[in-house]
């Protein structure tokens, strides 16, 4: 059995559209997870028109996801940070302060789209930060970094159901530690910016955490917890996330680069991070809404 989930911005999912798709695909009862926002129905097989329907729905501002009905509620969240749990790329924000923002942003875009080797692109960009005072990290966190909408609710709801949450980033521990603490992640992994006498050296510690290190995190953490990769929901937006997205039971490309969407199991372009709860069959009534967190 398979489950089709339709997700749009609040108030933007037309009931007639959802019912028409259910009827066309011979689905079961249409279940509204959130009125005019998210609905799902079960069906015996994946229709041949699934991909063309996904494309047509995108033009109407609606995301469509099809999954096996069993084991949709996951025991672990494995999340990228930059442009996933936060709305920015931290290295781009540091580069803005250093006066090389446009140059670094262009490299970041190409690396996240899979056009450049991630490790080489990271080394090149970090070198341009040489000489910045370490204190700039706190300044950037305070003035330039904002949480992705829906993130606090996603973490609070999954953790209330006993899920483990790990933040794995090709960015920097100075940022992941703060973001993880703010949102309630159980652990975080990232690269470490090297500092001497309070100044960035323009280098990072080795080995560099990239695509394969994210897969390693998936393997190591699931083994430690005694769960399987099928029990994991992974989310990211860049080419360096593809390894974990393809291995996890539910791999979600969130507002991702086109090359990443083309290879991901699940794609969310219109909803925020709470869409990951709808994908697991949570209704909005089941969401846990914490007090609005601020980066500590």
Active site residue 42: no
What's the pLDDT tens digit per position in 172-202?
Answer: 999 999 999 999 999 999 999 999 999 999 9
Name the token pair of 265: 């199991």
Q: pTM value?
A: 0.95
Active-site annotation holder among 42, 59, 63, 82: 82
Closest CA to 202 of 121, 124, 120, 107: 124
Domain with CATH 3.30.70 in the chain: 1-70
Q: How far apart are CA 81 and CA 79, in angstroms?
A: 6
Domain with CATH 3.40.50.1000 in the chain: 73-296
Q: Are 166 and 189 in contact (CB under 8 A)?
A: yes
Active-site annotation holder among 63, 80, 92, 272: 80
**To 10 degrees, what angle do helices 90-98 and 118-127 make?**
30
Regarding the domain delimited by 73-296, which CATH topology (the fold level of the hierarchy) does it fall under?
Answer: Rossmann fold (3.40.50)
What's the pLDDT tens digit per position in 227-252?
Answer: 999 999 999 999 999 999 999 999 99
Regarding the domain delimited by 1-70, which CATH topology (the fold level of the hierarchy) does it fall under?
Answer: Alpha-Beta Plaits (3.30.70)
Active site residue 80: yes
């Amino acid at each position: 059995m398979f489950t089709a989930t339709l997700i749009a911005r609040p108030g933007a999912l037309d009931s007639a559209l959802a019912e028409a798709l259910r009827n066309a695909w011979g689905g079961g009862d249409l279940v509204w997870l959130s009125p005019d926002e998210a609905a799902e129905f079960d069906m015996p097989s994946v229709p041949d028109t699934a991909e063309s329907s996904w494309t047509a729905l995108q033009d109407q501002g609606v995301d469509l996801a099809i999954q096996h009905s069993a084991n949709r509620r996951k025991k672990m969240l494995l999340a990228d940070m930059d442009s996933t749990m936060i709305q920015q790329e931290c290295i781009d924000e540091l580069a803005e302060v250093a006066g090389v923002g446009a140059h670094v942003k262009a490299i970041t875009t190409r690396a996240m789209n899979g056009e450049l080797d991630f490790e080489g692109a990271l080394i090149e960009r970090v070198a341009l930060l040489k000489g910045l005072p370490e204190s700039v990290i706190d300044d950037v966190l305070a003035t330039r970094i904002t949480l992705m909408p829906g993130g606090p609710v996603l973490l609070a709801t999954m953790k209330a159901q006993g899920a483990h949450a790990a933040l794995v980033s090709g960015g920097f521990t100075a940022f992941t530690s703060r973001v993880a603490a703010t949102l309630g992640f159980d652990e975080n992994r990232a690269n470490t910016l090297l500092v001497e006498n309070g100044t960035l050296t323009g280098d990072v510690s080795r080995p560099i955490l990239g695509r394969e290190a994210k897969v390693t995190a998936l393997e190591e953490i699931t083994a430690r917890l005694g769960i399987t990769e099928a029990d994991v929901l992974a989310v990211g937006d860049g080419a360096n996330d593809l390894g974990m997205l393809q291995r996890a039971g539910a791999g979600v490309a969130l507002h991702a680069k086109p090359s990443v969407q083309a290879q991901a199991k699940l794609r969310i372009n219109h909803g925020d991070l709470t869409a990951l709860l709808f994908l697991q069959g949570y209704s909005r009534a089941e969401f846990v809404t914490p007090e609005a967190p601020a980066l500590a």
